[in-house]
Amino acid sequence: MPTILDKVQGVFGKKEHAEPASALQAAALTNAAGITAATEAESTTPAFDHGKVTVIFVLGGPGAGKGTQCDKLVKDYGFVHLSAGDLLRAEQNRPGSQYGDMIREYIREGKIVPMEVTIKLLENAMRSALSARAKEEKGEDKWGAAWAEGRGRFLIDGFPRKMDQAIKFDEDVCKSGFVLFLSTTEAVLLQRLLERGKTSGREDDNPESISKRFRTFEETSMPVVEYYRQRQKVVEIDSSPPIEEVYAKIRIAVDAALAMVAP
């Protein structure tokens, strides 16, 4: 059976150590400009060179541990962690946003926001993070070549949710490196989310809602996982074990992934 390293070896380059990138993450979230006229413009080539910019999609059912594991990767590797949901919520509350009311209505009705809006927000957030990193004092550079000369590394959490989003992002923004798929059983997800619901205050952390969210993930996001799996771009990690055990396996994949973008 292929190991985690086998799944990603030959696709990426050398291992590189890193430090927290909270400032970059904040810049990406707070400086993600509203949608501009470019939203409607058709792109002929991706906005970013995937030879310099590493994008890892992080997918998994509700409660699979995506946020927890992304936080660890940000700290240890200097990724900027972008959540499509966070960006949409920020945009709907941004004063003067052309799309705020529309986003609010879609979220309220439980519908998926038009992909052009979500993808443009992600592109803007990536551009803001790259710009912020380029302006940092070179003498205080903790990341070496990881963010030099237009390079960067991003975790995109909970996206793409549908096939058309996956294809459009690859075509217009940046060809993704691979999909980190955190898999587990519905029973484990149910147990985790019910436990979280005791303190989270979230209305959707109840058995009925959790079951619906799991079904939605299977129906809309699993075809995306299979699409990338056929292209040998999925690293699947069982997220049922304890957090640190899962993270140790994730690090093997990420170490191999970062090798190809190292100078």
Would you tell me how many other CB atoms lie within 10 Å of the CB of residue 98?
14
Three-class secondary structure of residue 121 per DSSP: helix
The answer on whether 66 is annotated among ligand-binding residues is yes
Three-class secondary structure of residue 83 per DSSP: strand
The answer on whether 160 is annotated among ligand-binding residues is yes
The answer on whether 113 is annotated among ligand-binding residues is yes
Rounded-to-10 torsion of CA 93, 99, 102, 107:
-50
The answer on whether 241 is annotated among ligand-binding residues is yes
How far apart (Å, rounded) are the C-alpha atoms in residues 220 and 21?
31
Residue 160: strand pairing partners: none
The answer on whether 196 is annotated among ligand-binding residues is yes
The answer on whether 161 is annotated among ligand-binding residues is yes
The answer on whether 112 is annotated among ligand-binding residues is yes
The answer on whether 198 is annotated among ligand-binding residues is no
Residue 234: strand pairing partners: 179
Please choose, from the candidates 220, 26, 18, the residue with its C-alpha nearest in 3D space to the C-alpha of residue 129.
Answer: 26
Greatest extent of the chain over all pairs of C-alpha atoms, in Å: 54
Crossing angle for the helix pair 84-92 and 100-108, to the nearest 10 degrees: 120
What phi and psi values does residue 31 have, to the nearest 5 degrees?
A: -100, 5
The answer on whether 111 is annotated among ligand-binding residues is yes
Please choose, from the candidates 1, 2, 4, 32, the residue with its C-alpha nearest in 3D space to the C-alpha of residue 237.
Answer: 4
Residue 152: strand pairing partners: 53
The answer on whether 67 is annotated among ligand-binding residues is yes
Q: Which residues are annotated as a binding site for a ribonucleoside 5'-phosphate?
A: 89, 111-113, 158-161, 165, 202, 213
Specify binding-site residues.
63-68, 89, 111-113, 158-161, 165, 196, 202, 213, 241
**Known binding-site residue numbers for ATP:** 63-68, 196, 241
